[in-house]
Amino acid sequence: RDKFACEDPFHKGVYWPAVPKPFLAKFLRACAKHGLGATLDIHTYPGGTSVGTFSGVWPRYARFWSDGDAPALDGTAETDVGRDTLKSIV
């Protein structure tokens, strides 16, 4: 099976395990097809959300709430992570 990791846009060299978007979309569609809801239990966001080892960026400073969106990793001016992602999930 494919493994997927993405680099944290705020902290170079910090990588997050990730679920590929097509797999997640297929899973959510299958749930909906059968009348099931799904809860995405997300514990942190790019940049880390809090101080401590559980944020994934320790001992670095957590930057999600203070810095918001990060530039897209492909160098475009668009944003692809951060508070906009959180807003679209909630």
* Rounded Cα distance, 30 and 37, in Å: 10
The gap from C-alpha 63 to its chain's centroid, in whole angstroms, comes to: 13
What are 83's two structure tokens? 């508070």
* Model pLDDT for residues 19-74, shown as the tens digit of each residue: 888 888 899 999 999 999 998 887 777 788 887 777 778 888 888 777 766 655 55
DSSP letters, 37-77, are ---------TT-SSSSGGGSSTTSPP-HHHH--EE-TTS-S
* pLDDT of amino acid 35: 97
Can you give the pTM of this predicted structure? 0.57
* pLDDT of amino acid 31: 95
* pLDDT of amino acid 75: 60
Burial of 67 (0-12, 13-18, 19+ CB in 10 A): middle
Given a cut of 80, whether residue 10 has pLDDT beyond it is: yes
Three-state DSSP state, 3: coil
